[in-house]
Structure 1
Amino acid sequence: MADDKEREGTELVVTEFHKKIKDAFKVFDPEANNTVDVREIRNNYQVASKGELHDLTAEVLDPSKRGFLTKEEFVKYMTEEGEPFSQEEMEEMLSDAIDPESNSIRYKDYITMMLVDDG
């Protein structure tokens, strides 16, 4: 019985997570067909600022506002949610993202590193 309640709680969290992700990307999916064309984003939308990306990441992936994700959390989100990354993609991403001392990803620093400032 406790397992059922725990499972229901987990399902609710996952459902809420999916809703937040869908809501965040509605602006990039005007046809509501659950696809995003990167060329369309580049041509038609102003790319979010570093601050906006940080806020979105914190809201969706780090609701307790710790400022980081553990390696395990990061891998889980990137391989189990949405379009999963391959093992090779994950290893490449982790090599850039992971802080070897804390074994965590400080997403504000990672977002800053990943964004190219056009000037």
Structure 2
Amino acid sequence: MYFRFTDNNVFFFREIGTIIRSLGCCPSESELHDLLAEVEEEEPTGYIRLEKFLPMMTKVLMERRYRPIPEDVLLRAFEVLDVNKCGHLTKEELVKYMTEEGEPFTQEEMEEMLSAAVDPETNTVRYKDYITMMVVDEN
């Protein structure tokens, strides 16, 4: 994955979450907003300066903050949602849970998740397969 800097060595504000997650960190949206608040200019410009981002991100990585959730915890969470214990969720069930419960997904996040998770032939999410695909190897 590559990210472009502008001529002034700045990132687009909206790309920071993707950058942080591509580095193996999994902050919640609330935690991401807190991180962005640390590096945002006093007068918001829509950009984050590299000189501000690097020290913050180095600290996050050194402290091993925002580690990914382990596979067994993700599996238990999906199993709780799977009331019929059939090993899958329908697309509609997944959308309902992800947009109405807890920290709701945005439309863009939901579309991205669905494109990776839903089997187009059955219109379901076989969550064991999806978890295997999602899990980040920390080694």
Match of 1:71 in 2: 91
Aligned to 2:106: 86
Cα RMSD of the aligned pairs, angstroms, is 2.7
Structure 1 residue aligned with 2:17: none
Residue 79 of structure 1 deviates from its aligned partner by 0.7
Distance in 2 of aligned mates of 1:117 and 1:44 = 15
- Stretches of structure 1 that go unaligned for 5 or more consecutive residues are 1-34
> Which residue of structure 1 aligns with residue 70 of structure 2?
49
Instruction: Give the equivalent residue in structure 1 for 2:134.
Output: 114
In the superposition, relative to structure 1, how do residues 89 and 45 fare at CA in structure 2: closer, same or farther (>3 Å)?
closer
TM-score, normalised with respect to structure 2: 0.50
Identity of paired residues, percent?
57
Q: Aligned partners of 1:94 and 1:48: how far apart in 2? A: 20
Shift of 1:81: 0.9
Higher helix share: 1
Residue 79 of structure 2 aligns with which residue?
A: 58
- Normalised to the residue count of structure 1, the TM-score between the two structures is 0.57
User: Where in structure 2 are there 5+ consecutive unaligned residues?
Assistant: 1-28, 33-59
1:25 — aligned with what? none
Kept in 1, the 8 Å contact 2:68–2:136? The answer is no
Structure 1 segments of 4+ aligned residues over 4 angstroms from their partners: 35-39, 44-48
Q: Alpha-carbon deviation of 1:112?
A: 1.1
Which residue number corresponds to residue 97 of structure 1? 117
| Contact kept in structure 1, 2:70 and 2:135, CA below 8 Å | no
How many corresponding residue pairs?
A: 83
* Residue 44 of structure 1, CA deviation: 6.7
- CA radius of gyration, larger in: 2
